[in-house]
Amino acid sequence: MRLSLIRSATSAVSRGKFARLTSSDLSFFEKTIGNEYVKTKEIDNYTMDWTRQMKGGSECVLLPSSTEQTSAIIKYCADKKIAVVVQGGNTGLVGGATPIHDEIILSTSRIKNHFHLEPSSGVLTLDSGFILADADNRLAEHGFMMPLDLGAKGSCQIGGCVAAGAGGIRLLKYGSLHSHLLGCTMVDGKGSILNLGGTLRKDNTSLHAAHLAIGSEGQLGVVTRVTMGVVPRPTSILSAMLAVSSYSHCLRLLSLARSKLGEILSSFELIDGDTMKCVERNLPLKNIFEGSHNFYVLVETHGSNADHDIEKLNGFVEEALGNELAEDGVAANSENERAHIWRLREESPLAAAKDGYIYKFDVSLPLEHFYRLTEETREKLKGRARVYCYGHLGDGNSHLNVTTDGEDEELKKTLSPFVYNWVVSHGGSISAEHGIGQLKRDYRSLGKSAAEGDLIRALKGVFDPHGILCPYKMIPSTQ
Amino acid sequence: MRLSLIRSATSAVSRGKFARLTSSDLSFFEKTIGNEYVKTKEIDNYTMDWTRQMKGGSECVLLPSSTEQTSAIIKYCADKKIAVVVQGGNTGLVGGATPIHDEIILSTSRIKNHFHLEPSSGVLTLDSGFILADADNRLAEHGFMMPLDLGAKGSCQIGGCVAAGAGGIRLLKYGSLHSHLLGCTMVDGKGSILNLGGTLRKDNTSLHAAHLAIGSEGQLGVVTRVTMGVVPRPTSILSAMLAVSSYSHCLRLLSLARSKLGEILSSFELIDGDTMKCVERNLPLKNIFEGSHNFYVLVETHGSNADHDIEKLNGFVEEALGNELAEDGVAANSENERAHIWRLREESPLAAAKDGYIYKFDVSLPLEHFYRLTEETREKLKGRARVYCYGHLGDGNSHLNVTTDGEDEELKKTLSPFVYNWVVSHGGSISAEHGIGQLKRDYRSLGKSAAEGDLIRALKGVFDPHGILCPYKMIPSTQ
């Protein structure tokens, strides 16, 4: 993958007035969590993000195994004014968990002891270091499922999912993490242990402050434990792909899917024609249809009765073809066919990454503007760059990708401001699910009011009065 | 209804150091929102809660019609240190919207101009004064539905629902308000207008501070506009009632309902045998079954295909009877039968209220303890009081009611501490959906850590530094 150098697109950030790490600090950490969990060598996998484009100058990684150890570390750092960046599975896409200067890295990877499912209520409490796929596999034994699913599931951690406000491919049916989070344990920037919310589906005895953890990017505290509702594992999962001639037909298909598939509709994904050609060109993967089409829509259902679900899906596909909303349609008849359909969608990012220098976007837009951004970007960059669009149409989340053969200095400077201003002026969000981190910090105030800015800085000040947690990112320092 | 006098069960609260209302204040309000919307006479419907058991000494009710008018009022009050209580439809059950001393009342009833549904995404933006049932009726024309439904739907307002963290009878399927809220406009305690979140299903560009409004009981700000996802209106709604011999069978039925009804299960309600007898004794309403049973379970489904739903419900009922989990079962074959079944559940509170002096509770409990509270309370009060249990079993939300023939001074003093301590020591919540308000303020810290207390006071301080909004209630004053 040849990502254009991200740092060069982001303004330089000067180091805050934090203390420099000393050997007596390291001694304290070693005494607190054990020598082997204070790493100072071979730490590139922590100091660099996983795309290996962002790198901080940290000299130390701490791997506590509990809330209490985390609290002791943060208390010490608050006292000494040592900056800390919190890292889960290091799968983020905006450098939120990657240090910028010499922040010490606190990894939650070893905080994974407690895992308790209450089967009668479907309430799960687990430590933040559990990997999403591992947690889901354990739930499968009891007929439950993690409501969220995303490409990074094999590496991302639950705490990181909460801190990132992870969305994913079945938000359409199951909702965001706000739908599921019941409580969490956070160690705030003073080292205090906050037990917020609880294990109950209904509890109106306090502010619902646990929800502030969602999307907080480690800037309010270290999430060490999460309690959430999990969902019954569907006994029937069906997938289909439709070939579509126009974006307006895609929207009408979405509406038809809502009415015909109702409560079992779990994904409604879009791949545009150029992206599909890019997949075929750059990957050993064939389109499932003969000939090319302008758009492809992937529909998935999750249900509890296969006969009913098949009847609903067939009814949807038949009406889509009968009304000529779709030009062609394929329902997956085997797990292999289902995997093939999903690979076309899930490997679209990979195909784009192999296509040249890449500029990646993750935006939300009102559906009437969703595809116009792609069209206008394509028009603007005609002959200069290739433009791909794929994403979660059902949620209004477009992953726009632009690729060029060689580096294009002007594009590096102008593309993000163009896209982000277009998005905000059309009522969209410049970050649907990836967050702000360091990659989008220059644009964090775009479209936001001064009053909101004051509010989030004040909230940051409550949780982290010394500003030591994940500095230089989404929320400006209060120091 | 002869409610035991609530005030006597709550400790007296001394008046805070707020300014007394002057005629020049009234002049300012009249100039700002118009003379007719500054009420100083015949305001009992505002100064008393709807059960007419709690009453404050307010001398003035303000009825602004917009966010801007609200902002002007609060800015003025912050400057003058005038205490304000925020009131929606005045349907609360804990006196959260009822003044205690002479707080002026800010009613959101006239803030109901803007109502916009985006049909392609199902996102609704509406002013906070819209009544829940009215909003739902408007959505029906477009095939959508408000996800929440509660007994007070004909009077309660959307802003009040958010501030109260309203739950209701179909939370089991649709989730809490956290599942649906995308953004809100709040006027904070300084009079600043905060536009939090937005209209998008996915937006990770800031802290998700809009979620703090849910369950905030007016103590952080005045919610003046709400943006939320609404849900497709089900085209098929089915109801059934089962007669059950034991609580453990009720739990096994819940598990069976989850597996057989899956994604269409929308309500799973419980009425115990004593409550049903109380209904038959005190109301002109007959049990739907011949003979009496220990428990009754009401099951409802919401779906998009009547044939499929009937097949699923029949499968569930047949297996419940076949396994002898249920002693008897009735599926509603008409809207009348469905209404009858629901009246048995929805009029249970009314039947209990007619049964004598009443002590009402609204608690959440882990399911294994859900009914033990009723049994132990019944045992403790044997020969002295009658104990009824009904509620949202699917959500772990029990409405425990105790009635006595005459006033019982000792019970007044001892019953709440007994119930609340029992609930907290069994991992429950002393307020599942009604909130803290003034009724439960003496118990607001029960089971909470000092760190959480410090946090919510600090959050209150960020939004309302002068402590003028809804004082004396859930969050202790920061002044």
Q: How far is B202 from chain A (nearest CA, A)?
A: 5
pLDDT band at B3 (very low <50, low <70, confident <90, very high): very low
Q: B182 and chain A: CB distance < 8 Å anywhere? A: no
For residue B205, what pLDDT band results from cuts at 50, 70 and 90?
A: very high
| % pLDDT > 70, chain A | 97
| pLDDT at position B5 | 38
Which of B207, B237, B259, B307 to probe by mutation at the A interface, max A CB count within 10 Å?
Answer: B207
The reply to whether residue A202 touches residue B432, judged by beta carbons under 8 angstroms, is yes
The structure tokens 């890449």 sit at A358
pLDDT at residue B479, as a whole number: 55
Instruction: Locate B147 and state its tokens.
Output: 């996800």
**B4: confidence class by pLDDT, cuts 50, 70, 90:** very low
Q: Is A264 on the interface with B (CB under 8 A)?
A: yes
User: Could B198 and A302 be called an inter-chain contact, meaning their C-beta atoms sit closer than 8 Å?
Assistant: no
Per-residue confidence band for B11, with pLDDT thresholds at 50, 70 and 90: low
pLDDT at A51: 84
Q: What is the pLDDT of residues A173-188, one digit of tens each?
A: 999 999 999 999 999 9
Within 309-348 of A, beta carbons closer than 8 Å to B belong to 311-312
Cross-chain residue pair A262–B232, CB shorter than 8 Å: yes
The pLDDT assigned to A476 comes to 83
Encoding tokens for residue B62?
């303000």
B421-432 per-position pLDDT tens digit:
999 999 999 999
Q: Which of residues 350-369 of A touch B (CB under 8 A)?
A: 364-368
Q: Lowest mean pLDDT of B5-9, B323-327, B435-439, name the range.
A: B5-9
Cβ of A475 within 8 Å of Cβ of B200? The answer is no
Q: What is the pLDDT of residues A330-340, one digit of tens each?
A: 999 999 999 99
Residue of A nearest to B363 (CA): A203
| pLDDT for A73 beyond 70 | yes
**pLDDT at position A165:** 97
Residue A309: what pLDDT?
98
Q: Which residues of B touch A399 (CB under 8 A)?
A: none
Q: Which of residues 191-230 of A touch B (CB under 8 A)?
A: 192-196, 198-209, 211-212, 214-216, 220
Amino acid letter for position B131: I
Residues 50-89 of A with CB under 8 A from B: none
**Contact state of A171 with B433 under an 8 Å Cβ cutoff:** no
* pLDDT at site A10: 52
The distance of A441 to chain B (nearest Cα, Å) reads 10
CA of A114 to nearest chain B CA: how many angstroms apart? 18
- Rounded to 5 degrees, φ, ψ at A401 are -125, 135
> Predicted confidence band at A9 (pLDDT cuts at 50, 70, 90)?
very low
- d(CA B345, CA B332) in angstroms, rounded, equals 14
Interface of A with B in 150-179 (CB under 8 A): 164-165, 167, 171, 175-176, 178-179
pLDDT at A7: 44
| Nearest Cα to Cα of residue A346 among A298, A378, A387 | A298
CA angle A448, B77, B80 (to 5 degrees): 125
What is the Cα–Cα distance from B135 to B162, expressed in whole angstroms?
A: 14
CB A126, CB A116: distance < 8 Å: yes
User: Of the candidates B56, B168, B184, which has an alpha carbon nearest to the alpha carbon of residue B111?
Assistant: B184
> How far apart, in whole angstroms, are the C-alpha atoms of residue A416 and residue A97?
22
pLDDT, position A186? 98
| b/e code B378-403 from CB counts within 10 Å (16+ = b) | beebeeebbbbbbbbbbbbbbbbbbb
Q: How confident is the model at residue A252 (pLDDT cuts 50, 70, 90)?
A: very high
Give residue A12's pLDDT: 81
pTM of the model: 0.96
Could you say which of B165, B193, B308 has the minimum Cβ distance to residue A204?
A: B165
pLDDT at A3: 42
Using a CB-CB cut-off of 8 Å, the residues of chain A touching B178 are 178-179, 181, 208, 211
Residue A209 pLDDT greater than 70, yes or no: yes
The per-residue pLDDT for B476 is: 84
Lowest mean pLDDT among A91-95, B11-15, B247-251, B274-278: B11-15
Mapping DSSP onto H, E and C, the string for chain A reads CEECCHHHHCCCCCCCCCCCCCHHHHHHHHHHHCHHHEECCCCHHHHECCCCCCECCCCCEECCCCHHHHHHHHHHHHHHCCCEEEECCCCCCCCCCCCCCCCEEEECCCCCCCEEEECCCCEEEEECCCEHHHHHHHHHCCCEECCCCCHHHHCCEHHHHHHHCCCCCCHHHHCCHHHCEEEEEEEECCCCEEEEECCCCCCCCCCCHHHHHCCCCCCCEEEEEEEEECEECCCEEEEEEEEECCHHHHHHHHHHHHHHHHHHEEEEEEEEHHHHHHHHHHCCCCCCCCCCCCEEEEEEEEECCHHHHHHHHHHHHHHHHHCCCCCEEEECCCHHHHHHHHHHHHCHHHHHHCCCEEEECCEECCCCCCCHHHHHHHHHCCCCCEEEEEEEHHHCEEEEEEEECCCCHHHHHHHHHHHHHHHHHCCCECCCCCCCCCCCHHHCCCCCCHHHHHHHHHHHHHHCCCCCECCCCCCCCCC
Contacts of A203 in chain B (CB under 8 A): 364, 429, 431-432
Q: Are A258 and A265 in contact (CB under 8 A)?
A: yes
Please list every residue in chain A whose beta carbon sits closer than 8 Å to the beta carbon of residue B195.
449, 451-452
CB contact under 8 Å between B165 and A208, yes or no, is yes
| pLDDT tens digits for range A423-458 | 999 999 999 999 999 999 999 999 999 999 999 999
Q: Which residue out of A123, A203, A392 would a mutagenesis test of the B interface target, given it has the greatest number of B Cβ atoms within 10 Å?
A: A203
A-chain CB neighbours of B188 within 8 Å are 455
- pLDDT tens-digit profile of B333-365? 999 999 999 999 999 999 999 999 999 999 999
pLDDT > 60? residue A62: yes
In chain B, which residue's Cα lies nearest the Cα of A196? B452
